Structure 1
Amino acid sequence: MPDMRKSSGSSPLWMAPHVTIFLSSACIMVIELVAGRIIARHVGVSLYTWTAVIGVIMAGISLGNYYGGRIADTGRPRRILALLFFLTALGCALILPLNALAGELGRFPGLPWSFRIFLHTLITFLAPSTALGMITPVVAKMGLEYHRAQGRTVGGIYACSVAGSLTGTFLAGFYLVMLWRASTLVLLSSAGMIFLGICYWVSVILYSDSPATADMPSLKQEPNSPYKTSASLWIYAALTVFVSNAAFMAFEFAVTRVISREFGSSLYTWTLVIGVVLGGITFGNYLGGRIADRSFSGRTIALLFGVSALLVLASPLCNEGVNILRGQNIHIATLSWPMQIALQVLAMCLIPCIAIGTVSPIVTKRLLASGVAPGASVGTVYAWGSIGSIFGTFFSGYLLVQWLGSLPLVALVATALSLVALCYLPRNLLTWAATLACVTALFSSLAFFPALRPVADLLKLSAASDPPAVYEKESQYSYIAIVKDRKEPAIHEMYLDQLVHTRIDMRDHTRLLYEYEWIYSEVMEKTHPTPSPVRAFVIGGGGYAYPHYLEITRPGSQITVAEIDPAVTEAAHVALDFPRNTAIRIEDRDARNVVDDLVRHQEADTSFHKFNYIFGDSINDYTVPYHLTTLEFNQRLHSLLEDDGVYLFNMIDMLDSGAFLAAVIYTCRQTFEYVTVFNTGRQSFVRDTFVVVCSKKQLFLDDIPLRLQAQYAYIGEQLTDDLLDRLIVRHKKMVLTDDYAPVENLLAPVVRTRAGDTGEVNLAFARRYAENGDFVRALKRCRTAVSIHSKWPEAYELLAWLLQQSGDQEGSISALRQAIEGHEDPSSAWYALGQALMKSERYEEAIEAWTKCVEIKPDHINGLYNLGVLHGTRGELEQAIFFWRKVLELDPAHADSLHNLATAHVMGSELDEARKLVQQMKTLNLEVSPDIEKALK
């Protein structure tokens, strides 16, 4: 095909394709990111929602790419683009009325929610996404008219397209959703399309249609072209870009899940994964364009696919390497949490994505070199790439992660890439070797090939939980693991990714282990004392600890639970002894869907029984279900409650920041007359759990903290209205609505403190050095920790121990005194101080410390025993006997107390009492001192 000539150097039009594709791709990404927020008010947020959004928008873009390619070859690109931008602006503007229309159609209760969600998304987004998809091939056709090097041109346009998507992701995720409402962002995107349409219309008027085409040969296929368009060429091109795009979407999904296990799921996690993947694809597109101008043979494509496969296969190893580095290097460990996530993601997927990104420009260049019209070439590559992305998203999200797990999915992606390399170069030993390595790795990562397990361990394609899990499963939403507590194995913990969601005592399911559960129960006692049955709706089942507790302690209760992930429910049945024949009604759907159905049922049935209590247990990680925090959702819950009903939910925030807490409280106050907040007593600079109690009538909850302290080790308090008012004013009285709920952004300060708090990191390294016997470095890190947070009991306790190991007894005592204030268990702090004072022979002060210990915790056996010993050594036998008898009331088999008490009675000539104690020791098979035996004879 003859070369295309460059436009005049003085013309700015050669930049137009790159700027245009960048801006339009950014708009597409903004629309895709706010799409879920736009429709959430009608269909909730679930796997069905985001896969429907991705599927419909990508399908629309694929259709647009195909038809845009056909249109591009029929006319003048700039005229076509002007019309397309105006059409796209109209399509974006129609999103809001189409969303409202689809919401009305969704009121038909006979349709299953999965179909309603898909239908709603299809009506709302198919037309605008199709219009947006038509732009890319037309822009590419225009770009080819302004550059001689086709590969570089196509690669540059692809790179700008992905860079635009990257910019749209970060702009929308970190800034725009905080600044404007979702509907405003849609209208701004429409305005942006109008602006681009006007720019192109003006360019048509001011410039000749194409300075490059005046004396440029025809772009159509020439009869004597050495490459002929054939079905096999189209099929190979389509399948190649299909596999490459499906692979990088599946790889992105797997990386997100792997990273979430370590860092949780937050705004930073998903934006950084998307950002690094798109950044890699961007550079890969650019690099692929350069390569295409030198070689676009099948051998080149095979080489790139083979390299991509091996890089993908090595990504878990890179991930593990950074994990080790983070644990061993204090400088990396003290990086901010987002920087640590970025480092992890960069190590795992940047290079593989660069390699995968080189494919599309080379395939496009092959089509162009065959004589295929430019618009059709680019349209075909983009269309089949979009279809591949849809396939990769749906197949990974719905099936592969559940069937295989995230790490085996990485091996499967590598295998798929290696098979493409083998198809292009079937007689090459290297491609066969790469394919064999990937297939072996895939089989080794699967549980039903135990003989190959060492290979999976070597390649880090298997992730062993620590401690070992009694149950583990990857679901469509998260990695689920149930493990035994290290100190108390009878307690089982349910992990969802890296977060402990539920703790259950398998010996006693009525034992509540979380502070928020204690608060829930005490609030219920105010209006419905146990065992009164209640009608309760629980948002978020998790391990079903609290719903099952209600079922046991309040027989006859009518309990409904909305748990979005059926795999979590199954895990509770299998590993947490949650009975399958439970009377609890379980809805494995998004809570918003369940609430909408309940409201419709209430409107249609006058005999509908409202709820006494609604419990929220879904806001427990850094990715908050924003649609369950809004004013509109609260209004629905308000309508479902009895007049004396109560809505209680737990949430996370950091009091020093308090942005999310302030917004939630102020939003609740718009619906409920009485809103009370309790915390769990954590330091203000670290993440804390808050329990919000909303009611229609005043409940008088001021005595709740004292009631809890009498039963549990509760150290929290009720936050005053004055404190809450100041917090709300500080954060500008934000109301969360269906159209504006930037909850991830509000929680961003909390996320940043997870590992960004240098005090916590220094304390962790101090512990690690201490365990290895390196007390000098441990002391240095511990002193740094207490210098950062001067009132930190946990750090002072470790400092005291380290000083004691180094022989500084006075320094240890001073540190233990500092540890008492704010300690979550003050009795243990006083006990430790007493031990240090005892070693320093400061007996009077030791007695004072241990007396404080047993005043706080009257059943502290060691404290009581030691008080007896001190009084005994001072000859105060009456006091000593008193304390030892207290110990025996708590533990009748306490050998030392029995021995000392018997000795004291012998010394006091109370031989009958001593004989009784000796007989008790013999009954318990305890050793009796020969001196006592001799004295009694």
Structure 2
Amino acid sequence: MTGLSSSPVVDGTPRNHGLGPRAAAVLVFGTSAAVLVVEIVALRLLAPYLGLTLETSTLVIGIALTAIAVGSWLGGRAADQVNPRRLIGPSLGLSGAVVALTPAVLRTTAQWAPELLLLIASLTILVPGALLAAVTPIVTKLRLTSLAETGTVVGRLSGVGTFGAIVGTVLTGFVLVSRLPVSGILIGLGTLLVVGSALVEWRTRGWSRTPALTLMVAVGGLATMVAPGGCDTETRYHCATVVADPDRDSGRTLVLDGVRHSYVDIDDPTFLEFKYVRAVASVVDSAFPEGEPLAAHHVGGGGLTFPRYLAAARPGTRSLVSEIDSGVLRIDHDQLGLTSQGGIHVRAEDGRLGLRRLDTASRDLVVGDAFGGVSVPWHLTTVEAMADVRRVLDEDGLYVANLIDHGRLAFARAEVATLSATFKHVSLLGEPGDIGLDPTATSEGGNLVVLASDRPVDLRATQKALDARKTGWKIATGADLTSWIGDAQLLTDDYAPVDQLLQPYSTG
């Protein structure tokens, strides 16, 4: 950091630069980048507790923008009233300390005081964001020498700050998250900010709290080692943990962002723990001749539970899996001992793009089981996406999808309506109270399985299979299903408010 000097003022106009042009650019670039790093990483920290939904993203972005606005305003006012040289170091140092403590604070709050999570999360974004945003007007004040160059200075530093934000965004999304744990990113950023604070203070010699801030960063690093909510693996999309089943030696549960996504029996692929997986197996086993090999495509992989089941129950089955998270696939291989064998081939790709790559009428079965948190990614729910599913199925092909919804089940109704507009035959499997077959039961929501095809399926055989697997589920079809759907809207690429329809635990 070079170029810091005194800046005497006469008639309100500084005569000498208070900050060299390179140092000014570095400060504005770095602090602007840091704000975006904090914003993006905050989304990943909150996902296990709030879900990775549009609402969560909107909340974090809104708080970050508020921090930038508040920081810019207060930073400008402070720079007019206090020697600006004495403001930069404290802004960097305090923000660095808060950033380094954020992982431990958020995870501990989520574990022990979840009702305070939103407040604490807001503060961990707002405080460092505002302190970092304040640096730009402070630096601008130091760089101004006359009113004649105001436009040039402000425009240049604004451009540098925007470029820094872009670099921070790209670096975090494409590099840091895929290579470092979230806690490591924030502790590293906090360390850099405190180091920057120390360099500034060394030049200005106006502040002596750097050792205390360094201690806070160290405490943040140590606290993350004992804070609850850690991950076995942090992938690009999830906080992932593999949990052993205490009641079954070979049982493993893949937990993604705090949600049990897959149960795998390493020794027995025909053992199906989750009720919805047993329902999917019941549909497939009753719709196709016993033991007949299938050409299947799976949108979403998780622990590869159902592809493994098909490989064992129907030898010769070819299953192609589209799983967007390559980190999950590494967990499948390294921790669950699952490989692309037995006719199972996996691709790290988006499910919608994976469907487009398939030939027309090339599949007997398509299974939809892709989730971001507890929500099906919206672009996999639309009329256009279902048209692609129908295209890749042969004339006797079957589409089976896992849905999760609560409250009024508005999303599930919309998705079933969308499928009904695409396929000739649609049925819904679930708890009787959830699918309208038992008006005396309370609808609690959870997993539902929807079945769609252009040929009729023997639903009596399906119900018999559901009963044999002790699911307790029933099947809604025909007039019962039409009544259950009601006036639900179709989901399209132009209009698919999945996150708004999917309101967990809502009633009304």
TM-score if structure 2 supplies the norm length? 0.88
**Which whole-Å CA distance do the structure 2 matches of 1:598 and 1:273 have between them?**
37
Aligned partners of 1:264 and 1:497 also within 8 Å: yes
Alignment-derived partner of residue 612 in structure 1? 364
Partner secondary structure for residue 365 of structure 1? helix
Q: How does 1:514-593 map to 2 (within 5 A)?
A: 514-593=274-353
**Which whole-Å CA distance do the structure 2 matches of 1:670 and 1:287 have between them?**
55
2:470 is aligned with 1:699: no
Partner secondary structure for residue 460 of structure 1? helix
Aligned partners of 1:411 and 1:441 also within 8 Å: no
2:49 is aligned with 1:227: no
Q: Superposition RMSD on alpha carbons, in Å?
A: 2.7
Which has the larger share of strand?
2
Alignment-derived partner of residue 51 in structure 2? 264
Q: 1:320 to 1:587 in 2, by over 3 A?
A: closer
Report Cα offsets for 1:352-379 as digits up to 9, x if no partner: 2222222222122223346562332222
**Which whole-Å CA distance do the structure 2 matches of 1:751 and 1:240 have between them?**
45
Q: What percentage of residue pairs aligned between the two structures are identical?
A: 29
After TM superposition, the structure 1 stretch with the greater mean CA deviation from structure 2, 361-370 or 478-487, is 361-370
Aligned partners of 2:283 and 2:462 also within 8 Å: yes
Alignment-derived partner of residue 415 in structure 2? 664
Q: How does 1:389-400 map to 2 (within 5 A)?
A: 389-400=165-176
Report Cα offsets for 1:437-479 as digits up to 9, x if no partner: 366458xx4xxxxxxxxxx1xx33555559xx8xx21111111
Alignment-derived partner of residue 300 in structure 1? 87
User: What amino acid is the match of 1:555?
Assistant: P
Report Cα offsets for 1:536-559 as digits up to 9, x if no partner: 011001111111221222221121
User: What amino acid is the match of 2:428?
Assistant: V
User: What amino acid is the match of 1:400?
Assistant: L
Q: 1:273 to 1:351 in 2, by over 3 A?
A: same
User: What amino acid is the match of 1:616?
Assistant: G
Deviation of 1:653 (Å): 1.2
Aligned partners of 2:92 and 2:194 also within 8 Å: yes
Deviation of 1:415 (Å): 1.2
Q: How does 1:177-188 map to 2 (within 5 A)?
A: none
2:492 is aligned with 1:737: yes
Deviation of 1:703 (Å): 4.2
Alignment-derived partner of residue 512 in structure 1? 272
1:238 aligned residue (22, 25, 29): 25
**Which whole-Å CA distance do the structure 2 matches of 1:724 and 1:234 have between them?**
68
Aligned partners of 2:108 and 2:227 also within 8 Å: no
Q: How does 1:744-823 map to 2 (within 5 A)?
A: 744-748=499-503, 750=504
2:46 is aligned with 1:291: no
Report Cα offsets for 1:310-332 as digits up to 9, x if no partner: 222233454255335526xxxx4
Alignment-derived partner of residue 403 in structure 1? 179
**Which whole-Å CA distance do the structure 2 matches of 1:686 and 1:475 have between them?**
31
Q: 1:723 to 1:554 in 2, by over 3 A?
A: same
Q: 1:228 to 1:506 in 2, by over 3 A?
A: closer
Alignment-derived partner of residue 380 in structure 1? 156
**Which whole-Å CA distance do the structure 2 matches of 1:567 and 1:641 have between them?**
29
Partner secondary structure for residue 373 of structure 1? helix
Partner secondary structure for residue 208 of structure 2? helix
Alignment-derived partner of residue 722 in structure 1? 479
Alignment-derived partner of residue 677 in structure 1? 428
**Which whole-Å CA distance do the structure 2 matches of 1:361 and 1:403 have between them?**
33
Deviation of 1:684 (Å): 4.2
Deviation of 1:255 (Å): 1.7
Partner secondary structure for residue 638 of structure 1? helix
Aligned partners of 1:502 and 1:545 also within 8 Å: yes
Q: How does 1:441-520 map to 2 (within 5 A)?
A: 445=221, 456=222, 459-460=223-224, 463-464=227-228, 472-520=232-280
| Runs of 5+ consecutive residues of structure 1 not aligned to the other structure | 1-221, 333-339, 446-455, 603-608, 758-937
Aligned partners of 2:17 and 2:144 also within 8 Å: no
Deviation of 1:495 (Å): 0.9
Alignment-derived partner of residue 713 in structure 1? 470
Q: 1:580 to 1:642 in 2, by over 3 A?
A: closer
Aligned partners of 1:415 and 1:435 also within 8 Å: no
Aligned partners of 1:705 and 1:714 also within 8 Å: no
Report Cα offsets for 1:664-704 as digits up to 9, x if no partner: 11111111000100014677443311111000111131442
2:379 aligned residue (627, 651, 670): 627
**Which whole-Å CA distance do the structure 1 matches of 2:108 and 2:308 have between them?**
42
Partner secondary structure for residue 635 of structure 1? helix
Partner secondary structure for residue 524 of structure 1? helix
Partner secondary structure for residue 587 of structure 1? strand
The total of aligned residue pairs comes to: 488
Q: How does 1:75-114 map to 2 (within 5 A)?
A: none
2:109 is aligned with 1:351: no
Deviation of 1:571 (Å): 0.3
**Which whole-Å CA distance do the structure 2 matches of 1:546 and 1:570 have between them?**
18
Partner secondary structure for residue 650 of structure 1? strand
Aligned partners of 1:537 and 1:611 also within 8 Å: yes
2:140 is aligned with 1:364: yes
Partner secondary structure for residue 648 of structure 1? strand
Q: How does 1:69-218 map to 2 (within 5 A)?
A: none
Report Cα offsets for 1:815-865 as digits up to 9, x if no partner: xxxxxxxxxxxxxxxxxxxxxxxxxxxxxxxxxxxxxxxxxxxxxxxxxxx
Alignment-derived partner of residue 689 in structure 1? 447
1:254 aligned residue (36, 41, 51): 41
**Which whole-Å CA distance do the structure 1 matches of 2:212 and 2:29 have between them?**
21
Aligned partners of 2:96 and 2:193 also within 8 Å: yes
Q: 1:366 to 1:674 in 2, by over 3 A?
A: same
Deviation of 1:490 (Å): 3.1
**Which whole-Å CA distance do the structure 2 matches of 1:325 and 1:693 have between them?**
41
**Which whole-Å CA distance do the structure 2 matches of 1:435 and 1:319 have between them?**
19
Q: Which has the higher contact order (CA 8 A, sep 6+)?
A: 2
Aligned partners of 1:415 and 1:438 also within 8 Å: no
**Which whole-Å CA distance do the structure 1 matches of 2:105 and 2:302 have between them?**
32
Deviation of 1:434 (Å): 5.0
**Moved runs in structure 1, 4+ residues, more than 6 A?**
none
**Which whole-Å CA distance do the structure 2 matches of 1:704 and 1:322 have between them?**
46
Aligned partners of 1:615 and 1:648 also within 8 Å: yes
**Which whole-Å CA distance do the structure 2 matches of 1:487 and 1:263 have between them?**
30
| Runs of 5+ consecutive residues of structure 2 not aligned to the other structure | 1-10, 435-440
Report Cα offsets for 1:41-77 as digits up to 9, x if no partner: xxxxxxxxxxxxxxxxxxxxxxxxxxxxxxxxxxxxx
Q: How does 1:50-61 map to 2 (within 5 A)?
A: none
TM-score if structure 1 supplies the norm length? 0.49
Partner secondary structure for residue 235 of structure 1? helix
User: What amino acid is the match of 1:511?
Assistant: F
Alignment-derived partner of residue 849 in structure 1? none
Aligned partners of 1:246 and 1:391 also within 8 Å: yes
Q: 1:674 to 1:627 in 2, by over 3 A?
A: same
Report Cα offsets for 1:622-671 as digits up to 9, x if no partner: 443111111111111111111000011111112x5121112111111111
Deviation of 1:436 (Å): 3.9
Partner secondary structure for residue 678 of structure 1? strand
2:182 is aligned with 1:418: no
Aligned partners of 1:620 and 1:650 also within 8 Å: no
Aligned partners of 1:319 and 1:347 also within 8 Å: no
Aligned partners of 1:675 and 1:692 also within 8 Å: yes
Alignment-derived partner of residue 3 in structure 1? none
